[in-house]
């Protein structure tokens, strides 16, 4: 069960306000206020469940008398046609909250399912699958939770959590001028950053020459951005021989087709933006039971 912090609770309330508006006029004029119904959430395809507690909370936001019984917990695999949850209570509340609850469940289950597909591809290697900051605005906490539910790991949650010097930082900070890497300035910068106790330091590089220019300063992690397989292998071999303490992260252009080969190069991490920025949502439906 995930912890529903203040930010998440606010997101749920905002989502309900967005979807319902002032009043659900269709339900208001078709369903008497005192009617109670039984309903079930059905899976319309296979997947990994995530967000069942969020779905429960959506209904409880409108009525504390709703009975919500989940048949699966987050992280469980389910199959098409299976009942995910049973809901009993005020018919108006159930119908008005249905779409918001299913939207959260579909999105988060899609991320968890997508993440697990990547995790399966690297099984047998020590490589960990990481997410990125390519998340839906204001839903990062939930989406990163879904990544963990699917067996992945979280990269930094926000910009203050860790130092990640990327190509734009190097250019904006004049570490690279006319294509030439200024190793003297980099050395001074890293020397200072080392004084910031408890904060991890990661540097992105785009070529083997940049990698060799940075690895000697032993940052915690070096991100190998869009490296061909051959260069990934060379970087890992060089790291293993000379700087085994440095972790290597592969990023860019990695998908379900090539991820196994990337993991087998020996990199420690593979970061994949697509697991949060473009997952396929899992389809669920809510069905009111007759009688």
- pLDDT tens figures, 61-75: 999 999 999 999 999
247-251 vs 221-225, strand pairing mode? parallel
With a cut of 80, say whether residue 2 has pLDDT above it. no
CA-wise closest residue to 98 among 29, 15, 161: 15
Of residues 191 and 146, more confidence is placed in: 146
Gap between the Cα atoms of 41 and 55, Å rounded: 10
What is the CATH topology of the domain spanning 120-277? TIM Barrel (3.20.20)
Gap between the Cα atoms of 114 and 131, Å rounded: 11
CA-wise closest residue to 164 among 126, 240, 220, 100: 220
Gap between the Cα atoms of 34 and 14, Å rounded: 26
With a cut of 70, say whether residue 169 has pLDDT above it. yes
Confidence (pLDDT) at 112: 98
Rounded to a whole number of angstroms, the CA Rg of the chain reads: 24
With a cut of 90, say whether residue 174 has pLDDT above it. no
Of residues 123 and 171, more confidence is placed in: 123
Classify residue 283 by burial, with Cβ atoms within 10 Å: 0-12, 13-18, 19+: middle
- Average pLDDT score over residue span 160-184: 81
With a cut of 80, say whether residue 197 has pLDDT above it. no
- Angle 278-146-200 from CA coordinates, rounded to 5°: 95
Residues identified as active-site? 99, 134, 166, 204, 225
Q: Where are the domains of the chain?
A: 6-113+280-288, 120-277
Gap between the Cα atoms of 55 and 98, Å rounded: 9
pLDDT over 70 percentage in the chain:
98
Task: With 0.85 as the threshold, say if the pTM is over it.
Answer: yes
DSSP 8-state code for residue 290: P
3-class DSSP assignment, residue 195? coil
- Angle 64-66-69 from CA coordinates, rounded to 5°: 125
Gap between the Cα atoms of 17 and 11, Å rounded: 10
Confidence (pLDDT) at 203: 92
Of residues 178 and 135, more confidence is placed in: 135
pLDDT band at 170 (very low <50, low <70, confident <90, very high): confident
- Average pLDDT score over residue span 166-189: 79
What kind of architecture, by CATH, is found in domain 6-113+280-288?
Alpha-Beta Complex (3.90)
With a cut of 70, say whether residue 1 has pLDDT above it. no
With a cut of 80, say whether residue 57 has pLDDT above it. yes
pLDDT digits (tens, 9 = 90+) for 248-269: 999 999 999 999 999 999 999 9
DSSP 8-state code for residue 33: T
- 163 within 8 A of 193, measured Cβ to Cβ: yes
What is the token pair recorded at 255? Answer: 């998908």
- Write down the number of H helices and E strands in the chain: 11, 14
- 141 within 8 A of 5, measured Cβ to Cβ: yes
Other CB atoms closer than 10 Å to residue 175's CB: what's the count?
20
With a cut of 90, say whether residue 18 has pLDDT above it. yes
Strand partners, 68: 87
Gap between the Cα atoms of 263 and 250, Å rounded: 9
What is the token pair recorded at 145? Answer: 């939770």
Strand partners, 223: 204, 249
């Amino acid at each position: 069960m995930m912890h529903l912090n203040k930010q998440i609770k606010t997101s749920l309330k905002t989502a309900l306000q967005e979807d319902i508006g002032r009043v659900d006029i269709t339900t208001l004029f078709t369903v008497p206020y005192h009617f109670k119904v039984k309903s079930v959430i059905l899976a319309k395809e296979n997947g990994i469940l995530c967000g069942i507690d969020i779905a429960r909370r959506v209904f409880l936001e409108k009525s504390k008398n709703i009975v919500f019984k989940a048949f699966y917990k987050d992280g469980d695999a389910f199959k098409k046609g299976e009942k995910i949850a049973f809901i009993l209570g005020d018919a108006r509340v159930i119908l008005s909250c249905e779409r918001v609850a299913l939207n959260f469940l579909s999105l988060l289950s899609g991320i968890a399912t997508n993440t697990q597909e990547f995790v399966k591809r690297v099984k047998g290697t020590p490589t960990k699958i990481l997410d990125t900051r390519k998340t839906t605005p204001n839903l990062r906490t939930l989406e990163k939770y879904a990544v963990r539910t699917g067996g992945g790991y979280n990269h930094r949650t926000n910009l203050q959590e860790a130092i990640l010097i990327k190509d734009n930082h190097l250019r904006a900070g004049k570490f690279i001028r006319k294509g030439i890497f200024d190793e003297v300035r980099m050395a001074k910068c890293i020397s200072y950053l080392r004084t910031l106790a408890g904060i991890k330091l990661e540097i992105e590089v785009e070529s083997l020459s940049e990698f060799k220019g940075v690895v000697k300063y032993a940052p915690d992690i070096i991100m190998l951005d869009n490296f061909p397989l051959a260069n990934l292998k060379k970087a890992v071999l060089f790291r293993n021989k000379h700087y085994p303490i440095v972790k290597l992260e592969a990023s860019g252009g990695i998908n379900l087709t090539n991820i196994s080969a990337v993991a087998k190069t020996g990199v420690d991490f593979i970061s994949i933006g697509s697991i949060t920025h473009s997952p396929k949502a899992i389809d669920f439906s809510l069905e009111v039971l007759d009688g």
